[in-house]
Structure 1
Amino acid sequence: MIGRFASTVPLYAQFRPPYPAAFFRTVAERLGFSKQHALIDLGTGPGLLALGFAAYVGRIVGVDPEPAMIAAAREAPARAGQAFALIEGKAEQLPHDVGTFEVVTIGRALHWMDRTVIAAVFERLVAPHGVIVVCSARSAADGRNPWLDEYNAARQFWSGTDGSAHRRQDLAALLGGTRFGLAETIKVESNHEITPRDLAQRVLTFSTSSPAVLGDRAGAMLADVEQRMQRFSREGAITEIVVSKAEIARAT
Protein backbone atom coordinates (compact mmCIF):
# COMPACT_ATOMS: atom_id res chain seq x y z
CA MET A 1 0.00 0.00 0.00
CA ILE A 2 2.85 2.38 0.77
CA GLY A 3 3.37 4.82 -2.08
CA ARG A 4 0.10 3.99 -3.87
CA PHE A 5 -1.58 7.18 -2.73
CA ALA A 6 1.37 9.58 -2.53
CA SER A 7 0.40 11.44 -5.69
CA THR A 8 -3.29 11.61 -4.69
CA VAL A 9 -2.68 13.55 -1.48
CA PRO A 10 -3.47 17.08 -2.78
CA LEU A 11 -6.75 15.79 -4.28
CA TYR A 12 -8.11 13.18 -1.89
CA ALA A 13 -9.94 15.27 0.70
CA GLN A 14 -11.27 17.72 -1.87
CA PHE A 15 -12.73 15.38 -4.49
CA ARG A 16 -13.77 12.10 -2.84
CA PRO A 17 -17.50 11.85 -1.89
CA PRO A 18 -17.75 13.86 1.32
CA TYR A 19 -18.95 12.73 4.74
CA PRO A 20 -21.55 15.29 5.88
CA ALA A 21 -21.53 16.75 9.39
CA ALA A 22 -24.85 14.95 10.02
CA PHE A 23 -23.10 11.60 9.55
CA PHE A 24 -20.59 12.23 12.35
CA ARG A 25 -23.29 13.63 14.63
CA THR A 26 -25.65 10.72 14.01
CA VAL A 27 -23.00 8.05 14.61
CA ALA A 28 -21.64 9.80 17.71
CA GLU A 29 -25.09 10.23 19.24
CA ARG A 30 -26.25 6.70 18.40
CA LEU A 31 -23.10 5.17 19.93
CA GLY A 32 -22.88 7.54 22.89
CA PHE A 33 -19.43 8.98 22.21
CA SER A 34 -18.05 11.30 24.89
CA LYS A 35 -14.95 13.28 25.72
CA GLN A 36 -13.91 10.40 27.98
CA HIS A 37 -13.53 8.18 24.91
CA ALA A 38 -10.28 7.71 23.00
CA LEU A 39 -10.42 7.15 19.22
CA ILE A 40 -7.85 5.61 16.87
CA ASP A 41 -8.35 5.97 13.12
CA LEU A 42 -6.62 3.24 11.10
CA GLY A 43 -5.63 4.22 7.57
CA THR A 44 -6.39 7.81 8.48
CA GLY A 45 -5.24 9.33 5.17
CA PRO A 46 -5.64 13.12 5.46
CA GLY A 47 -7.58 12.66 8.71
CA LEU A 48 -11.16 12.95 7.43
CA LEU A 49 -12.75 10.57 9.94
CA ALA A 50 -10.55 11.57 12.86
CA LEU A 51 -11.40 15.25 12.44
CA GLY A 52 -15.05 14.52 11.73
CA PHE A 53 -15.43 12.75 15.07
CA ALA A 54 -13.10 15.12 16.96
CA ALA A 55 -15.93 17.16 18.45
CA TYR A 56 -17.42 14.05 20.05
CA VAL A 57 -14.41 12.26 21.59
CA GLY A 58 -11.32 13.04 23.63
CA ARG A 59 -7.89 11.66 22.68
CA ILE A 60 -7.40 10.97 18.95
CA VAL A 61 -4.68 8.97 17.20
CA GLY A 62 -4.35 8.59 13.42
CA VAL A 63 -2.35 5.79 11.75
CA ASP A 64 -1.29 5.62 8.10
CA PRO A 65 1.60 3.95 6.24
CA GLU A 66 1.87 6.69 3.59
CA PRO A 67 4.26 9.51 4.65
CA ALA A 68 2.56 12.04 2.36
CA MET A 69 -0.83 11.27 3.90
CA ILE A 70 0.61 11.65 7.39
CA ALA A 71 1.96 15.07 6.36
CA ALA A 72 -1.48 16.08 5.07
CA ALA A 73 -3.16 14.83 8.25
CA ARG A 74 -0.68 16.83 10.31
CA GLU A 75 -1.62 20.04 8.50
CA ALA A 76 -5.39 19.48 8.59
CA PRO A 77 -5.83 19.62 12.39
CA ALA A 78 -3.79 22.82 12.50
CA ARG A 79 -6.23 24.41 10.05
CA ALA A 80 -9.21 23.07 11.98
CA GLY A 81 -7.83 24.02 15.39
CA GLN A 82 -7.82 20.38 16.54
CA ALA A 83 -4.67 18.43 17.35
CA PHE A 84 -4.27 14.67 17.35
CA ALA A 85 -1.36 12.26 17.52
CA LEU A 86 -0.14 10.61 14.32
CA ILE A 87 1.70 7.33 13.79
CA GLU A 88 3.35 6.56 10.47
CA GLY A 89 3.08 2.84 9.82
CA LYS A 90 0.72 -0.02 9.11
CA ALA A 91 -2.15 -0.75 11.45
CA GLU A 92 -1.04 -4.39 11.50
CA GLN A 93 2.33 -3.34 12.95
CA LEU A 94 1.17 -1.03 15.73
CA PRO A 95 3.25 -1.44 18.90
CA HIS A 96 1.58 -3.19 21.80
CA ASP A 97 2.07 -0.15 24.04
CA VAL A 98 -0.16 2.07 21.88
CA GLY A 99 -2.93 1.42 24.38
CA THR A 100 -6.64 0.68 24.05
CA PHE A 101 -9.44 2.77 22.58
CA GLU A 102 -13.17 2.97 23.04
CA VAL A 103 -13.55 3.77 19.33
CA VAL A 104 -11.58 2.23 16.44
CA THR A 105 -12.48 3.78 13.09
CA ILE A 106 -11.52 2.71 9.57
CA GLY A 107 -12.52 4.51 6.39
CA ARG A 108 -11.60 3.55 2.85
CA ALA A 109 -8.75 1.36 4.03
CA LEU A 110 -10.00 -1.99 5.34
CA HIS A 111 -9.52 -3.71 1.97
CA TRP A 112 -5.81 -2.79 2.05
CA MET A 113 -5.24 -4.47 5.41
CA ASP A 114 -3.98 -8.01 5.94
CA ARG A 115 -7.08 -9.96 6.95
CA THR A 116 -4.93 -12.66 8.60
CA VAL A 117 -3.54 -10.10 11.06
CA ILE A 118 -5.95 -7.20 11.49
CA ALA A 119 -8.54 -9.16 13.50
CA ALA A 120 -5.90 -9.84 16.16
CA VAL A 121 -5.04 -6.13 16.15
CA PHE A 122 -8.68 -5.32 16.92
CA GLU A 123 -8.54 -7.75 19.86
CA ARG A 124 -5.84 -5.74 21.58
CA LEU A 125 -6.85 -2.22 20.46
CA VAL A 126 -10.51 -2.18 21.41
CA ALA A 127 -11.23 -1.40 25.05
CA PRO A 128 -13.92 -3.31 26.95
CA HIS A 129 -17.32 -2.13 25.69
CA GLY A 130 -15.55 -0.39 22.80
CA VAL A 131 -16.67 -0.36 19.16
CA ILE A 132 -15.17 -0.80 15.70
CA VAL A 133 -16.67 1.66 13.22
CA VAL A 134 -15.99 0.97 9.53
CA CYS A 135 -17.07 3.96 7.43
CA SER A 136 -17.65 4.67 3.77
CA ALA A 137 -19.13 7.49 1.70
CA ARG A 138 -20.18 6.51 -1.81
CA SER A 139 -22.30 7.82 -4.65
CA ALA A 140 -25.73 6.19 -4.39
CA ALA A 141 -25.73 3.35 -6.92
CA ASP A 142 -29.51 2.87 -7.09
CA GLY A 143 -30.14 4.99 -10.18
CA ARG A 144 -30.55 8.31 -8.41
CA ASN A 145 -27.15 9.43 -9.75
CA PRO A 146 -27.89 8.99 -13.48
CA TRP A 147 -24.31 9.91 -14.42
CA LEU A 148 -22.68 7.20 -12.29
CA ASP A 149 -22.64 4.33 -14.80
CA GLU A 150 -20.95 6.50 -17.41
CA TYR A 151 -18.52 7.77 -14.81
CA ASN A 152 -17.58 4.26 -13.70
CA ALA A 153 -17.10 3.23 -17.32
CA ALA A 154 -14.69 6.14 -17.76
CA ARG A 155 -12.80 5.15 -14.61
CA GLN A 156 -12.50 1.58 -15.83
CA PHE A 157 -11.25 2.73 -19.22
CA TRP A 158 -8.52 4.97 -17.82
CA SER A 159 -7.44 2.68 -14.97
CA GLY A 160 -7.57 -0.53 -17.01
CA THR A 161 -9.33 -2.28 -14.13
CA ASP A 162 -12.87 -2.77 -12.87
CA GLY A 163 -11.75 -2.24 -9.28
CA SER A 164 -12.45 -5.83 -8.24
CA ALA A 165 -8.88 -6.47 -7.05
CA HIS A 166 -9.42 -4.42 -3.90
CA ARG A 167 -13.09 -4.69 -3.09
CA ARG A 168 -14.17 -3.86 0.43
CA GLN A 169 -13.62 -6.71 2.86
CA ASP A 170 -16.72 -8.21 4.44
CA LEU A 171 -16.54 -7.07 8.05
CA ALA A 172 -18.66 -9.88 9.51
CA ALA A 173 -16.47 -12.51 7.86
CA LEU A 174 -13.31 -10.73 8.90
CA LEU A 175 -14.38 -10.78 12.54
CA GLY A 176 -15.17 -14.51 12.56
CA GLY A 177 -13.53 -16.24 15.50
CA THR A 178 -12.98 -12.99 17.43
CA ARG A 179 -14.90 -11.54 20.36
CA PHE A 180 -16.56 -9.08 17.99
CA GLY A 181 -19.69 -9.33 15.89
CA LEU A 182 -21.49 -6.99 13.52
CA ALA A 183 -24.07 -5.13 15.62
CA GLU A 184 -25.72 -2.55 13.37
CA THR A 185 -25.31 -0.35 10.31
CA ILE A 186 -25.94 3.38 10.36
CA LYS A 187 -26.68 5.19 7.08
CA VAL A 188 -26.96 8.91 6.42
CA GLU A 189 -27.83 10.33 3.01
CA SER A 190 -26.75 13.73 1.78
CA ASN A 191 -26.51 15.57 -1.50
CA HIS A 192 -24.33 18.29 -2.92
CA GLU A 193 -23.49 19.91 -6.22
CA ILE A 194 -20.30 18.98 -8.05
CA THR A 195 -18.94 20.12 -11.39
CA PRO A 196 -17.99 17.83 -14.28
CA ARG A 197 -14.42 19.07 -13.88
CA ASP A 198 -14.32 18.08 -10.21
CA LEU A 199 -15.72 14.63 -11.01
CA ALA A 200 -12.89 14.23 -13.50
CA GLN A 201 -10.40 15.25 -10.80
CA ARG A 202 -11.88 12.57 -8.53
CA VAL A 203 -10.57 9.90 -10.91
CA LEU A 204 -7.05 10.97 -9.90
CA THR A 205 -7.75 10.12 -6.24
CA PHE A 206 -7.88 6.36 -6.88
CA SER A 207 -4.71 4.28 -6.67
CA THR A 208 -5.31 2.68 -10.09
CA SER A 209 -5.69 6.04 -11.84
CA SER A 210 -3.54 8.34 -9.71
CA PRO A 211 -1.34 11.05 -11.27
CA ALA A 212 1.63 8.72 -10.77
CA VAL A 213 -0.11 5.92 -12.69
CA LEU A 214 -1.54 8.01 -15.52
CA GLY A 215 1.53 10.18 -16.00
CA ASP A 216 1.29 12.19 -19.21
CA ARG A 217 -2.15 10.65 -19.93
CA ALA A 218 -3.71 12.57 -17.02
CA GLY A 219 -4.62 15.57 -19.15
CA ALA A 220 -6.40 13.42 -21.73
CA MET A 221 -8.26 11.59 -18.97
CA LEU A 222 -9.44 14.83 -17.38
CA ALA A 223 -10.70 16.15 -20.71
CA ASP A 224 -12.47 12.87 -21.55
CA VAL A 225 -14.23 12.45 -18.21
CA GLU A 226 -15.26 16.10 -18.04
CA GLN A 227 -16.75 15.86 -21.53
CA ARG A 228 -18.64 12.66 -20.63
CA MET A 229 -20.11 14.34 -17.54
CA GLN A 230 -21.15 17.57 -19.27
CA ARG A 231 -24.36 16.10 -20.65
CA PHE A 232 -25.53 15.28 -17.13
CA SER A 233 -24.96 18.81 -15.83
CA ARG A 234 -27.36 21.71 -15.51
CA GLU A 235 -25.87 25.18 -15.44
CA GLY A 236 -22.46 23.61 -14.93
CA ALA A 237 -23.33 21.46 -11.92
CA ILE A 238 -24.33 17.86 -11.22
CA THR A 239 -26.24 16.75 -8.15
CA GLU A 240 -24.55 13.89 -6.31
CA ILE A 241 -26.45 11.84 -3.76
CA VAL A 242 -24.01 10.33 -1.27
CA VAL A 243 -24.71 7.44 1.10
CA SER A 244 -22.45 7.57 4.14
CA LYS A 245 -22.40 4.31 6.06
CA ALA A 246 -20.96 3.12 9.36
CA GLU A 247 -20.79 -0.61 10.09
CA ILE A 248 -20.60 -1.11 13.83
CA ALA A 249 -18.95 -4.11 15.48
CA ARG A 250 -19.08 -4.77 19.24
CA ALA A 251 -17.85 -7.44 21.57
CA THR A 252 -20.38 -10.27 21.73
Structure 2
Amino acid sequence: MSARDTAEYDQELFAGTAGYYARYRPPYPAEAVAYLVDGFGLGAGTAVLDLGCGTGQVAVPLAQAGCRVWAVDPDMDMIVEGTRHQPAGLAGDVRWLVSRAEDLRAEDLPPMRLCTMGASFHWMDRAGVLAFLDTVVEPGGGVALLSGSSSIWSRNGEMQGDWVETARAVITEFLGPQRRAGAGTYSHPKLTHEQVLAGSAFNAVEQRRFTVTRLLSVDEVVGLQLSTSYASPSLLGDRLAQFRQEFTRRLEQIAPDEGFATVEHNDVIVARRGGGGGSAG
Protein backbone atom coordinates (compact mmCIF):
# COMPACT_ATOMS: atom_id res chain seq x y z
CA MET A 1 0.00 0.00 0.00
CA SER A 2 1.22 3.46 -0.79
CA ALA A 3 -0.10 6.81 0.21
CA ARG A 4 -2.87 7.22 -2.28
CA ASP A 5 -3.74 9.23 -5.26
CA THR A 6 -6.86 7.10 -5.67
CA ALA A 7 -10.35 7.21 -4.25
CA GLU A 8 -9.82 4.17 -1.99
CA TYR A 9 -9.64 4.24 1.78
CA ASP A 10 -8.56 1.34 3.97
CA GLN A 11 -10.77 1.28 7.07
CA GLU A 12 -8.03 -0.69 8.84
CA LEU A 13 -5.54 2.18 8.62
CA PHE A 14 -6.28 3.55 12.07
CA ALA A 15 -8.31 0.71 13.53
CA GLY A 16 -8.13 0.79 17.31
CA THR A 17 -6.14 4.02 17.47
CA ALA A 18 -8.82 6.64 18.16
CA GLY A 19 -8.56 6.59 21.97
CA TYR A 20 -4.77 6.88 21.78
CA TYR A 21 -5.09 9.55 19.10
CA ALA A 22 -7.27 11.73 21.29
CA ARG A 23 -5.08 11.32 24.36
CA TYR A 24 -1.54 11.25 22.99
CA ARG A 25 -1.37 13.13 19.69
CA PRO A 26 0.33 16.46 20.41
CA PRO A 27 -1.48 19.68 19.58
CA TYR A 28 -0.24 21.69 16.67
CA PRO A 29 1.77 24.70 17.84
CA ALA A 30 -0.38 27.66 18.80
CA GLU A 31 1.84 29.79 16.55
CA ALA A 32 0.89 27.62 13.55
CA VAL A 33 -2.81 28.06 14.26
CA ALA A 34 -2.32 31.82 14.70
CA TYR A 35 -0.49 31.89 11.37
CA LEU A 36 -3.61 30.52 9.66
CA VAL A 37 -6.00 32.72 11.62
CA ASP A 38 -4.05 35.87 10.72
CA GLY A 39 -3.27 34.84 7.15
CA PHE A 40 -6.87 34.09 6.22
CA GLY A 41 -8.66 36.54 8.49
CA LEU A 42 -10.37 33.76 10.42
CA GLY A 43 -12.65 34.61 13.29
CA ALA A 44 -16.24 34.75 14.42
CA GLY A 45 -18.44 32.76 12.06
CA THR A 46 -15.76 32.01 9.46
CA ALA A 47 -16.44 28.68 7.72
CA VAL A 48 -13.53 26.22 7.67
CA LEU A 49 -13.40 22.67 6.33
CA ASP A 50 -11.02 20.26 8.10
CA LEU A 51 -10.43 17.06 6.14
CA GLY A 52 -9.03 13.98 7.83
CA CYS A 53 -9.76 15.69 11.12
CA GLY A 54 -8.85 12.80 13.42
CA THR A 55 -10.07 13.69 16.89
CA GLY A 56 -9.94 17.45 16.31
CA GLN A 57 -6.29 18.50 16.60
CA VAL A 58 -6.88 21.27 14.03
CA ALA A 59 -10.66 21.64 14.18
CA VAL A 60 -10.88 22.43 17.89
CA PRO A 61 -8.26 25.23 17.98
CA LEU A 62 -9.94 26.85 14.98
CA ALA A 63 -13.33 26.62 16.70
CA GLN A 64 -11.72 28.17 19.79
CA ALA A 65 -10.76 31.07 17.50
CA GLY A 66 -14.45 31.50 16.63
CA CYS A 67 -14.67 29.55 13.37
CA ARG A 68 -17.51 27.29 12.29
CA VAL A 69 -15.62 24.10 11.45
CA TRP A 70 -16.84 21.15 9.42
CA ALA A 71 -14.62 18.34 10.77
CA VAL A 72 -14.60 15.38 8.39
CA ASP A 73 -12.98 11.96 8.81
CA PRO A 74 -13.75 8.55 7.25
CA ASP A 75 -13.12 6.74 10.56
CA MET A 76 -16.23 6.64 12.74
CA ASP A 77 -14.19 6.00 15.90
CA MET A 78 -12.20 9.20 15.33
CA ILE A 79 -15.41 11.22 15.07
CA VAL A 80 -16.82 9.60 18.21
CA GLU A 81 -13.66 10.39 20.18
CA GLY A 82 -13.50 13.91 18.77
CA THR A 83 -17.06 14.58 19.84
CA ARG A 84 -16.46 13.08 23.28
CA HIS A 85 -13.32 15.12 23.94
CA GLN A 86 -14.57 18.41 22.48
CA PRO A 87 -14.07 21.08 25.15
CA ALA A 88 -17.02 23.10 26.39
CA GLY A 89 -17.37 26.80 25.74
CA LEU A 90 -15.93 27.03 22.22
CA ALA A 91 -16.16 30.48 20.69
CA GLY A 92 -17.26 28.82 17.44
CA ASP A 93 -18.49 25.30 16.83
CA VAL A 94 -17.45 21.97 15.31
CA ARG A 95 -19.78 19.97 13.09
CA TRP A 96 -18.47 16.40 13.03
CA LEU A 97 -19.05 14.34 9.88
CA VAL A 98 -18.06 10.78 8.95
CA SER A 99 -17.04 10.83 5.29
CA ARG A 100 -14.15 10.47 2.92
CA ALA A 101 -13.05 13.76 1.42
CA GLU A 102 -13.74 12.25 -1.98
CA ASP A 103 -17.42 11.67 -1.13
CA LEU A 104 -18.26 15.24 -0.11
CA ARG A 105 -20.61 17.28 -2.30
CA ALA A 106 -20.28 21.02 -2.80
CA GLU A 107 -24.04 21.50 -2.51
CA ASP A 108 -23.95 20.15 1.05
CA LEU A 109 -21.42 22.72 2.25
CA PRO A 110 -21.31 26.51 2.56
CA PRO A 111 -18.51 28.49 0.90
CA MET A 112 -15.36 27.86 2.90
CA ARG A 113 -12.67 30.42 3.72
CA LEU A 114 -10.10 27.71 4.30
CA CYS A 115 -9.63 23.96 4.05
CA THR A 116 -7.15 22.46 6.49
CA MET A 117 -5.63 18.98 6.46
CA GLY A 118 -3.50 17.85 9.37
CA ALA A 119 -1.21 14.99 8.27
CA SER A 120 -4.00 13.54 6.15
CA PHE A 121 -3.57 14.77 2.56
CA HIS A 122 -1.27 11.86 1.65
CA TRP A 123 -4.11 9.39 2.27
CA MET A 124 -6.37 11.08 -0.29
CA ASP A 125 -6.86 11.38 -4.03
CA ARG A 126 -4.93 14.62 -3.84
CA ALA A 127 -5.64 16.03 -7.31
CA GLY A 128 -9.31 15.10 -7.07
CA VAL A 129 -9.70 16.66 -3.64
CA LEU A 130 -8.03 19.89 -4.78
CA ALA A 131 -10.36 20.06 -7.78
CA PHE A 132 -13.32 19.65 -5.42
CA LEU A 133 -11.95 22.32 -3.09
CA ASP A 134 -11.79 24.75 -5.99
CA THR A 135 -15.61 24.54 -6.04
CA VAL A 136 -16.12 25.18 -2.32
CA VAL A 137 -13.29 27.49 -1.20
CA GLU A 138 -14.35 31.09 -1.61
CA PRO A 139 -12.34 33.72 -3.52
CA GLY A 140 -9.43 34.84 -1.38
CA GLY A 141 -9.48 31.57 0.57
CA GLY A 142 -7.09 28.69 0.37
CA VAL A 143 -5.78 25.34 1.52
CA ALA A 144 -3.45 24.62 4.44
CA LEU A 145 -1.56 21.38 4.93
CA LEU A 146 -0.14 20.83 8.42
CA SER A 147 2.48 18.16 8.97
CA GLY A 148 2.20 15.88 11.93
CA SER A 149 5.10 15.10 14.22
CA SER A 150 4.33 11.57 15.36
CA SER A 151 6.04 9.51 12.66
CA ILE A 152 9.36 7.90 13.48
CA TRP A 153 9.72 7.01 9.79
CA SER A 154 9.76 10.55 8.45
CA ARG A 155 12.22 11.23 5.66
CA ASN A 156 12.85 14.76 6.93
CA GLY A 157 13.37 14.05 10.62
CA GLU A 158 10.26 15.85 11.85
CA MET A 159 10.40 13.79 15.05
CA GLN A 160 13.70 13.82 16.94
CA GLY A 161 14.42 12.37 20.37
CA ASP A 162 16.46 9.73 22.19
CA TRP A 163 13.51 7.34 22.16
CA VAL A 164 13.04 7.29 18.37
CA GLU A 165 15.60 4.55 17.62
CA THR A 166 14.17 2.40 20.41
CA ALA A 167 10.69 2.81 18.96
CA ARG A 168 11.86 1.78 15.49
CA ALA A 169 13.62 -1.26 16.91
CA VAL A 170 10.65 -2.51 18.94
CA ILE A 171 8.10 -1.84 16.18
CA THR A 172 10.32 -3.64 13.66
CA GLU A 173 10.65 -6.66 15.95
CA PHE A 174 6.88 -6.93 16.39
CA LEU A 175 5.65 -5.91 12.93
CA GLY A 176 8.56 -6.43 10.54
CA PRO A 177 11.06 -4.14 8.79
CA GLN A 178 8.61 -2.52 6.38
CA ARG A 179 6.47 0.35 7.56
CA ARG A 180 2.96 -1.00 7.97
CA ALA A 181 -0.25 0.75 7.02
CA GLY A 182 -3.54 -0.96 7.62
CA ALA A 183 -3.81 -4.13 5.57
CA GLY A 184 -0.55 -3.48 3.74
CA THR A 185 2.70 -1.54 3.83
CA TYR A 186 3.40 2.13 3.23
CA SER A 187 5.40 3.96 0.61
CA HIS A 188 5.63 7.68 0.08
CA PRO A 189 3.69 9.11 -2.88
CA LYS A 190 5.80 9.78 -5.96
CA LEU A 191 4.82 13.44 -6.15
CA THR A 192 5.33 15.82 -3.25
CA HIS A 193 2.41 17.86 -1.96
CA GLU A 194 4.01 20.94 -3.50
CA GLN A 195 4.13 19.28 -6.92
CA VAL A 196 0.47 18.28 -6.70
CA LEU A 197 -0.49 21.79 -5.61
CA ALA A 198 1.46 23.26 -8.54
CA GLY A 199 -0.86 21.46 -10.94
CA SER A 200 -4.00 22.65 -9.18
CA ALA A 201 -5.91 25.91 -8.88
CA PHE A 202 -4.12 26.41 -5.52
CA ASN A 203 -0.67 26.89 -7.00
CA ALA A 204 0.55 29.95 -5.09
CA VAL A 205 2.37 28.18 -2.27
CA GLU A 206 4.27 29.29 0.81
CA GLN A 207 5.65 27.23 3.67
CA ARG A 208 6.52 27.89 7.29
CA ARG A 209 8.11 25.63 9.92
CA PHE A 210 7.16 25.77 13.59
CA THR A 211 9.47 23.95 16.00
CA VAL A 212 8.67 23.03 19.59
CA THR A 213 10.41 20.90 22.22
CA ARG A 214 8.32 18.82 24.59
CA LEU A 215 9.15 16.45 27.43
CA LEU A 216 7.54 13.04 26.91
CA SER A 217 7.02 10.43 29.59
CA VAL A 218 7.45 6.74 28.83
CA ASP A 219 3.66 6.36 28.76
CA GLU A 220 3.34 9.25 26.29
CA VAL A 221 5.94 7.75 23.95
CA VAL A 222 4.17 4.38 23.95
CA GLY A 223 0.71 5.94 23.55
CA LEU A 224 1.88 8.16 20.71
CA GLN A 225 3.09 5.19 18.69
CA LEU A 226 -0.15 3.30 19.32
CA SER A 227 -1.98 6.22 17.70
CA THR A 228 -0.31 5.59 14.34
CA SER A 229 -1.22 3.60 11.24
CA TYR A 230 2.07 1.67 11.45
CA ALA A 231 1.79 0.47 15.08
CA SER A 232 -1.95 0.38 15.67
CA PRO A 233 -3.61 -1.92 18.23
CA SER A 234 -5.31 -3.65 15.30
CA LEU A 235 -1.99 -4.54 13.70
CA LEU A 236 -0.54 -5.77 16.99
CA GLY A 237 -3.63 -7.86 17.76
CA ASP A 238 -3.14 -10.28 20.63
CA ARG A 239 0.48 -9.09 20.99
CA LEU A 240 -0.60 -5.60 22.09
CA ALA A 241 0.01 -6.20 25.80
CA GLN A 242 3.39 -7.80 25.09
CA PHE A 243 4.33 -4.87 22.83
CA ARG A 244 3.42 -2.32 25.51
CA GLN A 245 5.38 -4.24 28.15
CA GLU A 246 8.54 -4.66 26.04
CA PHE A 247 8.45 -1.11 24.67
CA THR A 248 7.98 0.28 28.19
CA ARG A 249 10.82 -1.85 29.57
CA ARG A 250 13.31 -0.62 26.98
CA LEU A 251 12.28 2.99 27.30
CA GLU A 252 12.63 2.88 31.08
CA GLN A 253 16.22 1.74 30.63
CA ILE A 254 17.12 4.99 28.84
CA ALA A 255 14.54 7.45 30.18
CA PRO A 256 15.90 10.65 31.77
CA ASP A 257 14.32 11.57 35.09
CA GLU A 258 12.70 14.66 33.57
CA GLY A 259 11.37 12.77 30.52
CA PHE A 260 12.47 12.53 26.91
CA ALA A 261 13.24 15.93 25.37
CA THR A 262 11.63 15.65 21.93
CA VAL A 263 11.99 18.13 19.09
CA GLU A 264 8.96 18.38 16.82
CA HIS A 265 9.09 20.18 13.49
CA ASN A 266 5.64 21.09 12.18
CA ASP A 267 5.53 22.33 8.59
CA VAL A 268 2.56 24.33 7.33
CA ILE A 269 2.04 24.60 3.58
CA VAL A 270 -0.40 27.35 2.63
CA ALA A 271 -1.75 27.37 -0.92
CA ARG A 272 -3.88 30.04 -2.59
CA ARG A 273 -5.16 30.37 -6.10
CA GLY A 274 -2.49 31.65 -8.46
CA GLY A 275 -2.22 32.63 -12.07
CA GLY A 276 -1.59 29.18 -13.54
CA GLY A 277 -2.18 25.52 -12.78
CA GLY A 278 -5.30 23.46 -13.14
CA SER A 279 -8.79 24.39 -12.07
CA ALA A 280 -12.03 22.61 -11.55
CA GLY A 281 -13.73 25.35 -13.53
Q: Return the alpha-carbon distance in structure 1 between the equivalents of residues 159 and 131 of structure 2.
A: 39
Could you tell me which amino acid in structure 1 is paired with residue 271 of structure 2? A
Unpaired runs of at least 5, structure 1: none
TM-score, length basis structure 1: 0.88
Does 2:155 align with 1:147?
no
Does structure 2 conserve the Cα–Cα contact (< 8 Å) formed by 1:39 and 1:57? no
Map 1:161-200 to 2 at 5 A: 161-162=178-179, 165-167=186-188, 170-200=192-222
Does 2:111 align with 1:95?
no
Task: Give the superposition deviation at 1:233.
Answer: 1.8
Does 2:87 align with 1:71?
no
Q: Which residue of 2 aligns with 1:245?
A: 267
Distance 1:186 1:116, change over 3 A: closer
Q: Return the alpha-carbon distance in structure 2 between the equivalents of residues 217 and 240 of structure 1.
A: 27
Task: Give the superposition deviation at 1:218.
Answer: 0.9
Q: Return the alpha-carbon distance in structure 1 between the equivalents of residues 137 and 173 of structure 2.
A: 41
Q: Return the alpha-carbon distance in structure 1 between the equivalents of residues 179 and 11 of structure 2.
A: 21
Distance 1:150 1:3, change over 3 A: closer
Q: Return the alpha-carbon distance in structure 2 between the equivalents of residues 166 and 152 of structure 1.
A: 16
Could you tell me which amino acid in structure 2 is paired with residue 156 of structure 1? T
Aligned residues: 251
Distance 1:4 1:142, change over 3 A: closer
Q: For 2:51, which of 38, 42, 47 is the aligned residue?
A: 42
Unpaired runs of at least 5, structure 2: 1-9, 151-155, 275-281
Give secondary structure in 2 for the equivalent of 1:186. strand
Q: Which residue of 2 aligns with 1:80?
A: 88
Distance 1:155 1:52, change over 3 A: farther
Q: Return the alpha-carbon distance in structure 1 between the equivalents of residues 100 and 256 of structure 2.
A: 43
Cα deviation per residue 1:56-87 (whole Å; 9 max; x = unaligned)?
Answer: 3432111111111111122233x333331122
Q: Return the alpha-carbon distance in structure 2 between the equivalents of residues 152 and 202 of structure 1.
A: 13
Give secondary structure in 2 for the equivalent of 1:189. strand
Task: Give the superposition deviation at 1:107.
Answer: 0.8
Does structure 2 conserve the Cα–Cα contact (< 8 Å) formed by 1:70 and 1:86? yes
Distance 1:10 1:49, change over 3 A: same
Distance 1:12 1:166, change over 3 A: farther
Q: Which residue of 2 aligns with 1:156?
A: 172
Give secondary structure in 2 for the equivalent of 1:155. helix
Give secondary structure in 2 for the equivalent of 1:138. coil
Cα deviation per residue 1:5-60 (whole Å; 9 max; x = unaligned)?
Answer: 24111110222243233332233234432325210100111111000122334321
Give secondary structure in 2 for the equivalent of 1:48. coil
Larger helix share, 1 or 2: 1
Q: Return the alpha-carbon distance in structure 2 between the equivalents of residues 54 and 124 of structure 1.
A: 23
Q: Which residue of 1 aligns with 2:61?
A: 52
Q: Return the alpha-carbon distance in structure 2 between the equivalents of residues 159 and 132 of structure 1.
A: 35
Q: Return the alpha-carbon distance in structure 2 between the equivalents of residues 240 and 144 of structure 1.
A: 6
| Aligned Cα root-mean-square deviation (Å) | 2.4
Give secondary structure in 1 for the equivalent of 2:261. strand
Does structure 1 conserve the Cα–Cα contact (< 8 Å) formed by 2:51 and 2:101? yes
